[in-house]
């Protein structure tokens, strides 16, 4: 296997691997998104229960950006920051979600941030303000951004770039077909005649590497014979078709050209130009193994 083929198949394998990784990444993102929505609905339920509300609806959780989700409610509620931090942490842990996230509570009316906190994997790095200060009953939305998911996006970009480069490389190193020796354009216009190739337009006969030139009259005569193999063609017909409107015909001219053709075809014993006395000539062809 040559180097070009090695690079080509290597690029294909790399493209296949990158494709699998991208599809796997998309599947993981889809699973992650579903888990986040379940966990946030659990958070919403616990917040409503803390408000002694077991009947109002939790509206559908929306993914508003790649790693950002929004939880909203049917009715107004009071939010207790300590309770919010606790229930979010519990629900996210149950769903095995990343522990590095930022949460914002926004007022529906003006979208101002009424409360927010930052949770890290390390407790020492948590930023959780305003503990014990309850938020008045209003319409709120809760937005959570998972900060660790940005790494997944960067990884996906890397796989996309790698896939593009591997496909490009596959095109560059695509195995080239070996160039077959191109036959002369006249090869498409030859007539098989025993062991010969007869080229009327090129006025020649070819057998193996031997090329024999033909005169115009020889070509015209041989064409008539080839079109009527093993059939007697009368002298008058040959003379008329070959010499008509082409000048003066001399009686011995036909015999002279027939003699020349016999000599040029003599290398193939399967071909005979036979004189039928008083009538004309016949091209006798025998089957041969080429």
Residue 262 has pLDDT above 50, yes or no: yes
231, exposed or middle or buried, with CB in 10 Å at 0-12, 13-18, 19+? exposed
- Supply the pLDDT for residue 174: 62
Rounded Cα distance, 116 and 114, in Å: 7
**Residues 148, 102, 94: CA angle, nearest 5 degrees:** 70
Buried b (16+ CB within 10 A) or exposed e, 104-142: bbbeeeeeeebbbbbbeeeeeeeebeeeeeebeeeebbb
Rounded Cα distance, 54 and 56, in Å: 6
When pLDDT is cut at 50, 70 and 90, the band that residue 242 belongs to is confident
Average pLDDT over residues 264-279: 91
- Supply the pLDDT for residue 182: 42
When pLDDT is cut at 50, 70 and 90, the band that residue 108 belongs to is very high
Other C-beta atoms closer than 10 Å to the C-beta of 255 total 13
- Supply the pLDDT for residue 23: 60
N-terminal to C-terminal alpha carbon distance within the chain: 35
Residue 66 contacts by C-beta under 8 Å, 6 or more apart in sequence? 149, 150, 153
Q: Which residues pair with 58 in a beta bridge?
A: 73
Specify the range with the lowest mean pLDDT, choosing from 7-11, 212-216, 226-230, 259-263. 7-11
Structure letter (DSSP) for residue 147: T
- Match 């020492």 to its residue by tokens: 124
For the record, the structure tokens of 277 come out as: 């006395």
Average pLDDT over residues 44-55: 95
pLDDT per position as a tens digit, 4-25: 666 666 666 766 766 766 566 5
Q: Are 200 and 188 in contact (CB under 8 A)?
A: no
Q: Are 265 and 271 in contact (CB under 8 A)?
A: yes
pLDDT per position as a tens digit, 148-205: 754 455 566 675 766 676 676 656 656 655 444 443 444 458 898 889 999 999 999 9
pTM of the model: 0.46
Locate all alpha helices (DSSP H) within the chain, ordered by sequence.
3-50, 81-94, 149-172, 216-227, 235-243, 251-265
Higher pLDDT, 185 or 116: 116
Rounded Cα distance, 41 and 249, in Å: 109
In the structure, how many helices (H) and strands (E) does the chain have?
6, 14
Task: Please provide the DSSP assignment of 26-59 as one string.
Answer: HHHHHHHHHHHHHHHHHHHHHHHHHTT-SSSPBP
Residue 220 has pLDDT above 80, yes or no: yes
Measured CA distances, 97 to 42, 62, 119, 121, 145 (Å): 13, 17, 12, 11, 12
Higher pLDDT, 33 or 189: 33
Residue 55 has pLDDT above 90, yes or no: yes
């Amino acid at each position: 296997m040559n180097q070009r083929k090695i690079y080509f198949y290597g690029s294909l394998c790399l493209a296949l691997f990158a494709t699998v990784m991208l599809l796997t990444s998309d599947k993981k993102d889809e699973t992650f998104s579903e888990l986040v929505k379940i966990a946030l609905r659990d958070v919403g339920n616990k917040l409503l229960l803390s408000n002694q509300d077991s009947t109002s609806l939790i509206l559908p959780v929306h993914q508003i950006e790649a790693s950002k989700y929004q939880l909203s409610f049917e009715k107004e509620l009071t939010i207790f920051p300590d309770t919010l931090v606790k229930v979010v942490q519990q629900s996210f842990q149950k769903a095995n979600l990343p522990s590095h996230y930022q949460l914002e509570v926004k007022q529906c009316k003006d979208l101002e941030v009424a409360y927010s906190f930052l949770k890290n994997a390390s407790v020492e790095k948590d930023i959780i303000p305003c503990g014990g200060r309850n938020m008045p009953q209003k319409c709120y939305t809760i937005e959570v951004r998972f900060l660790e998911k940005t790494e997944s996006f960067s990884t996906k970009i890397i796989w996309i770039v790698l896939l593009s480069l591997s496909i490009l490389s596959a095109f560059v190193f695509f195995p080239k077909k070996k160039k077959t020796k191109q036959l002369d354009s006249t090869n498409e216009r030859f007539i098989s005649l025993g062991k010969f190739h007869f080229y009327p337009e090129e006025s020649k006969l070819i057998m193996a590497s031997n090329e024999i030139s033909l005169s115009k009259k020889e070509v015209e005569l041989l064409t008539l014979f080839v079109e009527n193999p093993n059939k007697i063609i009368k002298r008058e017909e040959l003379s008329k078709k070959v010499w008509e409107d082409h000048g003066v015909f001399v009686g011995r001219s036909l015999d002279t050209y027939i003699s020349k053709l016999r000599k040029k075809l003599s290398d193939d014993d399967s071909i005979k130009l036979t004189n039928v006395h008083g009538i004309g000539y016949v091209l006798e062809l025998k089957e041969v193994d080429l």
